[in-house]
Amino acid sequence: MDVERLKKRCGYDGKPQQFKYGFDLACRELAKAQAIPDGFVVVPKEPTQEMLIAADNCEIDGKVTAHNIYKAMIEAA
C-alpha cells in the first residue's frame, strides 16, 4: 500500500503511521459491515436450474407451500 500517495489524495498531513492505522481500521469495519450475518446465505439474483428443479419437486406430505419451495431453493443454491 502506498501510504504517501493515499495521504496526498485524501489531503492528510499527519504522520503516516496514524493515517495507515486509521485506514486499516476503516477497512476492517467495512469488511465487518459487508460480512454475511449468521443465519444468512448468499444466493444468486436469478435462480439456477438446480433451484428451479428443487422448487418443482418440493412437495412434502402432499403439500406444496411457499415455505417448502423457499427452503428447497435455498438448499439447492
pLDDT digits (tens, 9 = 90+) for 23-58: 888 888 888 777 788 888 889 999 999 999 999 998
What's the DSSP call for residue 36?
P
Neighbours of 62 (CB within 10 A): 5
Same domain, 66 and 43: yes
pLDDT at position 17 over 70:
yes
Q: CA 48 to CA 76: how far, in whole Å?
A: 9
Q: What is the pLDDT of residue 70?
A: 93
Q: Which domain holds residue 24?
A: 3-34
Same domain, 29 and 47: no
Same domain, 45 and 76: yes
Same domain, 75 and 43: yes
Same domain, 42 and 73: yes
Cell output for 63: 403439500
Q: Which pLDDT band holds residue 3 (cuts at 50, 70, 90)? A: low
Average pLDDT over residues 60-77: 89
Number of folded domains that form the chain: 2
Same domain, 28 and 53: no
Type of residue numbered 28: R
Same domain, 42 and 75: yes
